[in-house]
Structure 1
Amino acid sequence: MKLYLQGDRGKALCEHCQQVVGITYTRRDVPFSDGNGQAREILVGVCDQCATTVAIPPQSTPAIKEARRQQLTSIEARLPAVYLDVLDAAMHSVAEDAGVQMRKLFFSYYFSAPLVPALEQVHDGFAQYLAQQAEVRQIPAVNAMKRLSLKVNHYVAEDLARLLQATRMTQTELLKSLIAQIRLDVLEGGNPAVIADLRQLVRLGL
C-alpha cells in the first residue's frame, strides 16, 4: 500500500468538474455523506480546480471509522436476565446463526415500527406468564440481571426518542415491553409478517 504524504500530487475523477483533474493531498475536515458529523484533519485528495474532496487514501480509513464510531449513541439498560434470554431465543428462531450483535437489529426494527397498542398490557401479560411458569415448574424466584448495551446511529436513536415520547415509558420499561412483544410476534408465532421482515433483515445483517 502506498503511503501518501501531505503535498503529494496525483490525478482523479472529480464529479463536480466532470473530468479527470489534478489533485493535491492535504489535511481537512470531511463531513459524512449523511450530514451527521465529520472526520477531522484527515489526509484527502483535493481537486486543484474546485477544491472538492475527490480521493481518500487507505491510511485515512481508520480515522474515518473512529470518527463515525464516536457519532454512535449508546443505549444502556439493566434487565432481568430472562428478558435477554427471550430476545436471544427469538433471534435464534429467526436465524440459527444470529449472534448477540443482532439484538441491535431487532430493536431497530421495533423502534421504527408502528406503535403497538396496549404495549404495557403486553408486558404485564409476559410478567404474569413468567410468574405462572415459575409456580407450575416449582422454580424459586430468580432476580438475576444482565446489562444490555447497544451502539446505534442517529436514525435509530431518533426512532427510540419518538417511541419514548409516544409511550411515556422509561427506556428500561420500553425495552422490556418490546421484548415481550417480540416474544408474542416471534416465539409464539403471532405475526408471520414480522417474522418475514426480521428474517430478511437478519440475512442482510449477517
Structure 2
Amino acid sequence: MKLLFEGDHGKALCEHCQQVVTTTYVRRNVPFSDGHGEAKDVLVGICDVCETVVAIPAQSTPAIKEARKHQLTPIEARLPAIYLDVLDAAMHVVTKEASVQTRKLFISYYLRELVETKAADRLQRTHYEFSQWFSKQMTCRHLTPSRSMKRLSMKVNSYVADDFIILLEATHMTRTDLLKSVIWHIQEDVIEHRNPVVISDLQRLTRVAM
C-alpha cells in the first residue's frame, strides 16, 4: 500500500466529468452516501477539473468508518412507566452504579443478541405474554393499571440502529411494542431467572462503559 500525502497526485475516473482525470490529494470533510453526517478532515483525492471527491485512499478508510460508527440515530418511544421501572431494576441487579445512560447499553446488547439468534418470533410471543401477565397482576392485587407514561430516548450508532430496523421488519411490530418486548426479555433473563451468562456479559459491558 502506498502512503499518500497532501499534495500528491494520481489518476481516477470522475463520474461528473465522465473521464479519467488527474487528481490531487487534499483534506476534506466527506459526506456519507446517505446524506446523514460526514467524516471530517480526511485525506481524499479530488478531481483537478471539477474538484469532486473521486478517490479515497486506504489510509483514510479507518477514519471514515469510525466517523460513520459514531453517527448517532435516535430511538424513542413513550412507554408505560412500569417498563422503565423494570429496565432500571434489571440494571440495578447487574451493577449498583447504573444510571439512566446504562439503559442504552442494555437495549443495544439485547438487540444484537436477538438479531444473532434470529429470535423475532420470541419477541412477538413475549409481548403477548407480558400483557397477559400484567393484566393478571392488576386483577390479583385489586389494582387499577396506572396511566403514567415515560419517554425512553436513546441515540445509538449505526450498528445498533441497523439491528433495531432488522427486528422491526422481521416482527412487523411497532417501535413501541418492540421496545416493550425487549425490556421484558431483560426482565426474564436478569430479574426472574438471574441468567449468569447474560449478567456476566452485561457486567463486563458496564465496567467498560462507565
- Same fold by TM-score greater than 0.5: yes
Specify the code of the residue in structure 1 equivalent to 2:98.
Answer: A
Whether the 8 Å CA contact 2:130–2:184 is kept in 1: the answer is yes
CA distance in structure 1 between the aligned counterparts of 2:177 and 2:209, rounded to whole angstroms: 27
1:49-198 mapped onto 2 (5 Å cutoff): 71-113=71-113, 114-116=117-119, 117-189=121-193, 191-198=195-202
Specify the code of the residue in structure 2 equivalent to 1:79.
Answer: L
Aligned length: 169
Whether the 8 Å CA contact 1:93–1:186 is kept in 2: the answer is yes
Gaps of 5+ in 2: 8-25, 44-56, 60-66
Shift of 1:164: 1.2
Shift of 1:31: 7.5
Whether the 8 Å CA contact 1:81–1:144 is kept in 2: the answer is yes
- After superposition, the CA RMSD in angstroms is 3.4
Specify the code of the residue in structure 1 equivalent to 2:118.
Answer: L
Determine helix, strand or coil for the equivalent of 1:118.
Answer: helix
Structure 1 outlier segments of 4+, above 3 Å? 15-18, 67-70
Q: More deviation in 135-144 or 100-109?
A: 135-144
Q: Does 1:28 pair with 2:59?
A: no
Shift of 1:132: 2.2
CA distance in structure 2 between the aligned counterparts of 1:171 and 1:39, rounded to whole angstroms: 29
Shift of 1:68: 7.5
Shift of 1:37: 4.6
* Aligned residue in 2 for 1:202: 206
CA distance in structure 2 between the aligned counterparts of 1:74 and 1:149, rounded to whole angstroms: 7
Determine helix, strand or coil for the equivalent of 1:96.
Answer: coil
Shift of 1:118: 2.7
Identity %: 51
Whether the 8 Å CA contact 1:123–1:181 is kept in 2: the answer is no
Determine helix, strand or coil for the equivalent of 1:98.
Answer: coil
Whether the 8 Å CA contact 2:80–2:147 is kept in 1: the answer is yes
Determine helix, strand or coil for the equivalent of 1:142.
Answer: coil
Whether the 8 Å CA contact 2:6–2:27 is kept in 1: the answer is no
Deviations 1:5-44 (A, max 9, x none): xxxxxxxxxx9659xx999xx9732689xxx95345x6x9
Shift of 1:141: 1.9
Whether the 8 Å CA contact 2:70–2:158 is kept in 1: the answer is no
CA distance in structure 2 between the aligned counterparts of 1:146 and 1:119, rounded to whole angstroms: 21
Whether the 8 Å CA contact 1:164–1:174 is kept in 2: the answer is yes
